[in-house]
Structures are given as structure tokens and as C-alpha cells.
Amino acid sequence: MADVISSRCLERLRLANDYNQCVHAYATLVQDIRDLIECGLQTEVEMLSRTCRTAWGAAEAARLALFRHEANHNCRWGLSLPKPQAKRV
């Protein structure tokens, strides 16, 4: 397995992991907002919505960085992105 990974582009792996973490952070915030809405905590929803928009921006920037790297480095490979962590309960 180590030989397979070492033959891959490590920068692409780093960018893919960064993208995965950003998307996971965004998804967690969306879930938190949903929970706050269900509890009727509108002020908290508005505050967390700003953070959520920032997280969306970070995820989009990470996606673009990965896309640009793949295009410039021609290193796209068929492995899927790492799986996000288990869903919170």
C-alpha cells in the first residue's frame, strides 16, 4: 500500500484531504443550524449562519485549489476522496 501511495502526487493528496476537511466542517455547521432551527433559537441560527457562509467559502477555495492542481499537474487519479468522519448523533 505504501508503494501505491508514494507513487501518487502527495500535493494532490494533501489538497484532497484539505477539501474533505473543509466540506466536513461545512456539513457539520449545516447540521448544527438545522438543530438550532428545530429548537427555535433564531439568534443563534443567524450567528452560526455567518460562520457557515465562511466555511462554504473555505470549502469552495479548497475545491478550486484541488481542481487547479489537477489541471496544472495532470495528476488526477481514480481514488475517491477520503470518507468523512462518522455522522454526529
List interacting residues with Zn ion (CB under 5 A).
9, 12, 73, 75
Rounded to a whole number of angstroms, the minimum distance from the CB of residue 16 to Zn ion is: 10
Residue 60 or 70 having the CB closest to Zn ion: 70
Q: Answer yes or no: are the C-beta atoms of 77 and 8 closer than 8 Å.
A: yes
Rounded to a whole number of angstroms, the minimum distance from the CB of residue 37 to Zn ion is: 41
Residue 8 or 53 having the CB closest to Zn ion: 8
Give the whole-angstrom CA distance, residue 1 versus residue 36.
43
For residue 6, how many C-alpha atoms fall within 13 Å in the half-sphere facing its CB?
A: 3
